[in-house]
Amino acid sequence: MPSTAAARAVVAALVAAGVRDVVLAPGSRSAPLAYALHAAERAGWLNLHVRVDERSAGFVALGIARVRAAAVVTTSGTAVANLHPAVLEASHSDLPLVVLSADRPHELRGVGANQTTDQVGLFGSATRWAGEIPADDAVGDRGVSVTITRAVAAARGLRTGRPGPVHVNVAFRDPLTPDDEWTPGAVPTGSTRVAEVRGAAGSEVLVRGPRTVVVAGDAAGPEAARVAAAGAWPLLAEPSSAVRGAAGAVAAYRLVLDRLGPQIERVVVLGRPTLTRPVSALLARTDLDIVVVDPDGGPWVDVAGAARAVVPGVTVPGSPSEGERAWAARWQLASDAAAQGLSARFDGAPLSGPSVARAVLGSGGASLGAVVLGSSMAVRDADLAAPVGESYVSAPVVANRGLAGIDGTISTAVGLALALDAPVRALLGDLTFQHDVGGLARGTLEREVDLQVIVLNDDGGAIFATLEHGRPEHAAVFTRVFGTPQGVDVRALAAGFCAAHRFVGSAEELAAVLAEPIVGRSVVEVALDGSRARADEAALAEHVLAAVRARLGD
């Protein structure tokens, strides 16, 4: 049957191109792919993960794509549109996500056929590549293989240096069920080898002398630590930069900038810094020498248009001067004071978002596969209060910072746990939890994951309280349209998805929970007072700044 043959060719081509994980959201039009994927899994070709919610399925695949290329398969209609948030996040985070959408044949489009819309190019500019496999007997296995090979190569960024999502729309005609049982043979290999194109050659030499800091945003990677170490320069590292545990990382750097920021003369930027207004203000200054390092050739980070240079790499010659050593030492003093100020503030105090983040991202975590941070207050609490250097958690820390949405956070963590085959811990707020609570769902025939979701439950959007919307003059409207309390029973939601639940009310209880092994799906709820978010943040900042001022002698 043409549809059955095409689906088997698609699956074989995916495997030949190196894709080993496929997330399937069931549907009728995509049935030929479902039958083929099931047979391929039985043959040991790939890992098949089934999720009933397409939106969650997209983020599960995105979580896997943080480790290796992954595909997600949906039926036609709104099912495809539900992948759009995950596709956008993959695009802005440069993650190799392959979308396979099933579709009606061309003669059923635009004539009022059920569950049919214009799916070709649905994701617009968000994809690195988009194409279609038509419902046509003449396409043949070779045509399918060429299309899938190109799609996966584009998703992995082999020829561009910039991975990202791709979309292959596959049309199927009835009948959609096979008339025989497929028994795949040996794991297929590709007939075309696609060589990887390395990043652009060359680098800029950064002369010594200017008082320099290195800003490491999301996914900055080891290069940020190398540059900072070579220059003996302070490292302002976001939690998901992958270098917060490096030497020279500055604790509570957004507060330290208040004291030392005016003395900075040069900034080297790597990754995508998005978390704090002090850093945004720093990168908008026109009196600084700002150098953006972008080895992948994609859109570079320069929101204010203040960068002097955008380069694929930098070289730092020679050894640090006495002035540079003194500069670094002053930042280290401030960092130590900030860290001690945080510890003193949290010691014996009730739990807060920052204190929980500090505990979650403290040293240890060797048994963890990864830590996932929600993109609202959780990642900002971590940015402010998490330790640095050797005291930082040893497991990778990730967050969906491509578009910084709270979409699919739990599903992303599930995908990571599946890809890593290791326990994953997620820290997020109650609204982020509610937004993707369906990510906790696991079909009874699906593989269990070891996932612990820690929910900072302040009953609403506390992040807005810390912004201008939380000022006293807006109190009359704040709760209704920004705070949005939900009164949700987190315990009942967890139970509904067969996940264990426990309350944590003290630092001692939290420490005990963090020391236990993560087995299966569980939800840990920490109750916070959202009405105090603004005042508590201000008090914490003043306490830390006072400690920094005292240490620096200001």
Q: Give the pLDDT band of residue 365 (cuts 50, 70, 90).
A: confident
Q: How many domains does the chain have?
A: 3
Beta bridge partners of 170: 102, 133
- Tokens 């985070």 -> residue: 93
The domain in which residue 45 lies consists of 2-171
Rounded alpha-carbon distances, angstroms, from residue 242 to 225, 270, 272, 397: 9, 11, 12, 7
Report percent pLDDT > 70 for the chain.
98
Q: Give the pLDDT band of residue 371 (cuts 50, 70, 90).
A: very high
Whether residue 367 sits in one domain with residue 312: no
Q: Give the pLDDT band of residue 215 (cuts 50, 70, 90).
A: very high
Tell me: pLDDT of 479 over 80.
no
Tell me: pLDDT of 363 over 80.
no
422 lies in some domain: yes
Whether residue 154 sits in one domain with residue 97: yes
Which token pair is 472?
């006293």
Q: Which of 150, 171, 192 is the last residue of a domain?
A: 171
* pLDDT (average), residues 514-534: 92
Q: Give the pLDDT band of residue 139 (cuts 50, 70, 90).
A: low
Mean pLDDT, rounded, of the chain: 93
Which token pair is 2?
């043409």
Q: Give the pLDDT band of residue 382 (cuts 50, 70, 90).
A: very high
User: 175 preceded by cis ω (within 30°)?
Assistant: yes
Q: What local confidence, expressed as pLDDT, does residue 191 receive? A: 65
Whether residue 319 sits in one domain with residue 432: no
Whether residue 353 sits in one domain with residue 229: no
Q: Output 109 or 259, whichever has higher pLDDT.
A: 259
Q: What local confidence, expressed as pLDDT, does residue 198 receive? A: 62
Whether residue 158 sits in one domain with residue 212: no
Q: Give the pLDDT band of residue 197 (cuts 50, 70, 90).
A: low
Question: Tens digits of per-residue pLDDT, 198-214?
Answer: 655 668 899 999 999 99
Which token pair is 327?
């500069």
Q: Give the pLDDT band of residue 89 (cuts 50, 70, 90).
A: very high
182 lies in some domain: no
12 lies in some domain: yes
Nearest-10 Cα torsion for 505, 508, 511, 516:
-90
Domain with residue 143: its CATH number is: 3.40.50.970
Q: Output 467 or 159, whichever has higher pLDDT.
A: 159
Q: What local confidence, expressed as pLDDT, does residue 299 receive? A: 78
**Per-residue H/E/C for 236-303:** EECCCCCCCCCCCECCCHHHHHHHHHHHCCEEEEECECCCCHHHHHHHCCCCCEEEEECCCCCCCCCC
Whether residue 366 sits in one domain with residue 512: yes
Its pTM stands at 0.94
Q: What local confidence, expressed as pLDDT, does residue 114 receive? A: 81
Q: Give the pLDDT band of residue 140 (cuts 50, 70, 90).
A: low
Q: What local confidence, expressed as pLDDT, does residue 295 receive? A: 86
Q: Give the pLDDT band of residue 471 (cuts 50, 70, 90).
A: confident
Whether residue 319 sits in one domain with residue 353: no
Question: Tens digits of per-residue pLDDT, 261-303?
Answer: 999 999 999 999 999 999 999 999 999 999 999 987 777 899 8
Whether residue 408 sits in one domain with residue 271: no
Tell me: pLDDT of 21 over 90.
yes
Whether residue 523 sits in one domain with residue 386: yes
Q: What local confidence, expressed as pLDDT, does residue 534 receive? A: 82
Residue type at position 371:
V
Whether residue 69 sits in one domain with residue 12: yes
Tell me: pLDDT of 449 over 80.
yes
Q: Which of 171, 190, 223 is the last residue of a domain?
A: 171
Q: What local confidence, expressed as pLDDT, does residue 501 receive? A: 98
Whether residue 246 sits in one domain with residue 164: no
Quick check: 289 and 311 in contact, CB under 8 A? Answer: no
Q: Which of 331, 363, 392 is the last residue of a domain?
A: 331
The Cα angle at residue 363 between residues 361 and 366, in degrees rounded to 5: 95
* pLDDT (average), residues 81-91: 98
321 lies in some domain: yes
198 lies in some domain: no
Q: What local confidence, expressed as pLDDT, does residue 469 receive? A: 85
The SS3 of residue 43 is coil
Tell me: pLDDT of 82 over 60.
yes
Whether residue 228 sits in one domain with residue 95: no
